[in-house]
Amino acid sequence: MTDLANASTVSREDPAEEAFHDSHGHAHGSLAALTLGAVGVVFGDIGTSPLYAMKEVFVGHHPLAVDRLHIFGTVCLMFWSLMIIVTIKYVALILRADNKGEGGSLALLALIQRSTGGGRWGTSLVMLGIAATALFLGDAMITPAVSVLSAVEGLETVNAGFTPFVIPASIIILIGLFLIQSRGTDVVGRLFGPVMIFYFAVIALLGAIQIFHHPAVIAGLNPVWAWRFIEADPGLAFLALGSVVLCVTGAEALYADMGHFGRRPITLAWLWMVFPALILNYLGQGALMLSRPTAVDNPFYYMAPDSFRLPLVILATVATVIASQAVITGAYSVVQQAVQLGLMPRLRIDHTSERAAGQIYVPSMNWTLMILVILLVLGFRESTNLAAAYGIAVTGTMFITSLTFGFLARKVWNWPLWIVIGVIGTFLLIDGVYFVSNLTKFFAGGWFPLLIGAVAFTLLTTWARGRQLMIKRLNEDSLPLDVFIKSASTAIRVPNTAVFMTSVRDSVPPALLHNLKHNMVLHERNILLTVRIEDVPFVKDEKRVSSRDLGQGFRRVILHYGFMEDVDVPVALARVTDGSALNLMRTSFFLSRQTLLSSSRPGMAIWRERLFSWMLRNAQSAMEFFKLPTNRVVELGSQVEI
């Protein structure tokens, strides 16, 4: 797979191409509005962690004694995990690693490749980006299941008779959540911020009340208590880390959603609202368990008086639905980026808002997620079991982000080696310890995200490698473009314009050769059209089209799009002028459709060639993906051995 790094990068040797690296992020609005939006969307996942994190430490797969040492030690580990991993690593450092305003694993990968050209680390970086994407997709399946299930389990604290209804109610809520995705979240999204602000105010108040009654718990913030916990029982402390890390679930969302709100609003929301509310709540849960150890079964809900417990269940359920909504839309964005970067086959992507470019809906991803999430709820049945699976996906993604960020800091930002080793090494050590701790829960559910990650990794790498091999094989059999144009002067010409879609730079498109071979004519105007996905999120409209006259009625046109943009060929072609406007009703679009034949030629294993062939057959057609007029498209087929 040594050439895989080239599968998602963009070559810029064509003189028709220009520079596109002055695009900027697209977070617009007042600071207050953006901060409000960030509270509603970015922090839903990490904000609902108090529902299950503390409980899992004490009654999960490696239960702890409910005493002063373990309570203070756990509170201390949670506080410093949030401080080091979220505040320092993500908010202070990683949020600065934006790709023209966009964040996330694939945006970071594109940023590094644009700045360094990939080099000898190109393949490894692509692999890391794909691995992070694969684990994120596993996270996107577990988050709705564990969040909603843990919230609805609060019914058991209201009345034990509600226990049989927990799973059916959770499934109904989840089905409803996925059914409304096609309608978009533009309107509903406006309510997310106020609801989550109210939620954070409530959990902070609940924690503050408990701290007021038992202020001694504040001493748990002293890092000495973490050391005492570890010193007293190193093995149990190490196992407990697998549950402690649940308090930072959703930290990756701060980076992934940066393009929607910007770094400053996310930073303000975290430092002045979310972080204080979380710390108050975790301290409150610790204070409650100090005075009432039996509350360990569900300390989040037992902090509330009996009369307020049912409203708290409702509020927490709404908050988990918001958290699930955020990760689902995040999965859509990741899929869109992966498609544009050549890591996934073309998929149908619908835009659900005329005002917000990021509001998209991917039907195939939506229904796949819904089925798997429901199966997770039915299979694991309790949030405790799901939490075991959750940790591996979270810690694996964080570890990969630290590795990639370290490469960026050294190779792009030119940090001194000793700083990279000191800072990034610390992050890698912490992430690595958390990840290894979670591996101890492999047979308790941790296998699931690894299985999903392995499947997704196989599909993504197979598509990227197969696509590269297919282009290579087409290039081997192609005719040089300049030779063809010189010989085309004797061909019979027919009126109007022909557009030949091609991914090949300097060779004749297969569809053009087949058209001349079978119809024995050429059009008056022939446009050789290539769509380039640049390694920036967005390309300015004035740089969308680059065009070059090749002579003899041929024109080379390249359309440039960012990896967060939707491709619309007819709209872009309206900008092309070569003496007369392009009339789409007198233009024919010629597409090549390849039928792949598995062979023993070096490239991929036979089973991967067949998998790639199946993915190619089931991909969205080029006509739909490029938004070509259905009555103006001609497809010409050919067979290719890979």
- Of 256, 279, 272, 255, the C-alpha closest to 81 is 279
Measure Cα distances from 80 to 77, 245, 275 in Å: 5, 11, 12
Rounded to an integer, the average pLDDT of 65-89 is 94
Rounded to an integer, the average pLDDT of 233-238 is 91
Residue 17 has pLDDT above 90, yes or no: no
Residue 600 has pLDDT above 90, yes or no: no
- Cα–Cα distance measured from residue 611 to residue 620, given in angstroms and rounded to the nearest whole number: 16
- Cα–Cα distance measured from residue 131 to residue 338, given in angstroms and rounded to the nearest whole number: 12
pLDDT-wise least confident of 225-229, 282-286, 424-428, 469-473: 469-473
173, HSE (Cβ side, Cα atoms, 13 Å): 26
CATH of region 36-464, choose from 3.40.50.2000, 3.20.20.70, 1.10.101.10, 1.20.1740.10: 1.20.1740.10
pLDDT-wise least confident of 24-28, 281-285, 288-292, 613-617: 24-28
Residue recorded with tokens 């089931």: 618
Q: What is the 8-class DSSP label of residue 85?
A: I
- Of 236, 266, 253, 200, the C-alpha closest to 77 is 236
Helix (H, G, I), strand (E, B) or coil at 608: helix
Angle, in degrees to the nearest 10, between helices 306-340 and 186-213: 130
Which residues have C-beta within 8 Å of that of residue 503, sequence separation ≥ 6?
471, 530
pLDDT in tens, 166-210: 999 999 999 998 888 877 655 555 678 889 999 999 999 999 999
Residue 276 has pLDDT above 90, yes or no: yes
How many other β-carbons are positioned within 10 Å of the β-carbon of residue 293? 13
Rounded to an integer, the average pLDDT of 409-419 is 90
- Cα–Cα distance measured from residue 184 to residue 197, given in angstroms and rounded to the nearest whole number: 22
174, HSE (Cβ side, Cα atoms, 13 Å): 33
Q: Domain locations in the chain?
A: 36-464, 479-641
**Which residue type, as a one-letter code, is found at position 638?**
S
**Per-residue confidence band for 313, with pLDDT thresholds at 50, 70 and 90:** very high
Helix (H, G, I), strand (E, B) or coil at 23: coil
- Cα–Cα distance measured from residue 64 to residue 408, given in angstroms and rounded to the nearest whole number: 40
**pLDDT value for 24:** 45
Of residues 553 and 37, more confidently modeled: 553
Query: Are the C-beta atoms of 523 and 496 separated by less than 8 Å?
Result: yes
Residue 486 has pLDDT above 90, yes or no: no
Pairing relation of β-strands 522-533 and 493-501?
Answer: parallel
pLDDT in tens, 557-592: 889 988 778 888 888 887 765 545 577 788 889 887
**Which residue type, as a one-letter code, is found at position 542?**
E
- Cα–Cα distance measured from residue 371 to residue 145, given in angstroms and rounded to the nearest whole number: 11
Alpha helices in 412-494 (DSSP H): 417-439, 447-476, 481-487
- Cα–Cα distance measured from residue 241 to residue 435, given in angstroms and rounded to the nearest whole number: 9
**pLDDT value for 27:** 53
pLDDT-wise least confident of 64-73, 421-430, 536-545: 536-545
**Which residue type, as a one-letter code, is found at position 641?**
E
- Of 583, 589, 575, 596, the C-alpha closest to 630 is 589
- Of 168, 169, 178, the C-alpha closest to 144 is 178
- Cα–Cα distance measured from residue 600 to residue 161, given in angstroms and rounded to the nearest whole number: 63
- Of 195, 14, 20, 1, the C-alpha closest to 100 is 20
Helix (H, G, I), strand (E, B) or coil at 603: coil
Angle, in degrees to the nearest 10, between helices 166-179 and 122-152: 130
- Cα–Cα distance measured from residue 321 to residue 587, given in angstroms and rounded to the nearest whole number: 48
How many other β-carbons are positioned within 10 Å of the β-carbon of residue 115? 15
Residue 493 has pLDDT above 50, yes or no: yes
**pLDDT value for 8:** 35
- Cα–Cα distance measured from residue 397 to residue 332, given in angstroms and rounded to the nearest whole number: 17
pLDDT in tens, 421-450: 999 999 999 999 999 998 888 888 888 888
**pLDDT value for 359:** 67
Query: Are the C-beta atoms of 609 and 596 separated by less than 8 Å?
Result: yes
Quote the radius of gyration of the chain (alpha carbons, Å): 27
pLDDT in tens, 112-123: 877 766 566 667
Please report the sign of the dihedral spanned by the C-alpha atoms of residue 522, residue 524, residue 527, residue 528. Answer: positive
Element (H, E) at 587: strand 587-597
